[in-house]
Copies of this chain bind each other. A is one copy, B any other.
Amino acid sequence: MQVYAALRDAIVRAELAPGQKLSENELAGQLGVSRTPVREAIARLREDRLVEVVPQLGTFVARISTQAVADAQFIREALECAAIRRAAERCGEDDVNALEENLRAQERARDASDFDAFYVLDDAFHQTLCNLSGHPTVWSISQRAKGHLNRVRRLSLPIGDYLTSMVDEHRAVTAAVARHDADEAELALRYHLRMVLREVPRIRSQHPDFFDEA
């Protein structure tokens, strides 16, 4: 399990380059465990489509597939937008306070240009919204799909006011939820979620060898 998290993180952060060959034995040695837990982790990563395993040949870090990225975006959008409608209907005062406290932390991370801290808060923000729907399972699925999106996001150095616009969008989402305005909350979230995707073509032109199709 810990092995899975470590490998997944390494892949998403592009420390393991797309296309790179992974040896179960080598990974086992590096991580100080046996092949068995490594195999278990690789099985899960294969379900996430983050690695491809060719029998009797090898396992490889999956190249970034624009199709997989689009699928992930579609799935995340469908799930989180459905969830936020419920969240807007169900949320109470305490829930809104928790969201706004997170927002203030985001602003601090923004002012400090602390991207790592921001990503953690960003995850927590979206998870809170998913959980407010009453269906916490939604977050686990959305998070797994998000791996593909984070992978392209990690490749792109965020530009100047990136964090500023992220926080602003989060704030718009929160405001709509607080107003119990499901329609507006969904719209604001959908707009926000599509931010990431806009960067894909640029990133692809910068790292063509990381991508799959021609």
Q: Interface residues, chain A, CB within 8 Å of chain B? A: 40, 43-44, 47, 49, 68, 70-72, 74-75, 77-79, 81-83, 86, 133-138, 141
Name which residue of chain B comes closest to A82, CB basis: B78
Whole-angstrom distance from the CB of A63 to the nearest CB of chain B?
A: 16
Question: Could you tell me if A135 and B74 are in contact, using CB atoms closer than 8 angstroms?
Answer: yes
Beyond A68-B137, A75-B137, 4 additional contacts (C-beta under 8 Å) are A40-B43, A71-B135, A75-B141, A78-B138
Residues of B within 8 A of A79 (CB): 75, 78-79
Out of B71, B81, B133, name the residue touching A74 (CB < 8 Å).
B133
Among A47, A79, A135, find the residue whose CB has the most chain B CB atoms closer than 10 A: A135
Q: Within the complex, what minimum Cβ distance (angstroms) separates A54 from chain B?
A: 15
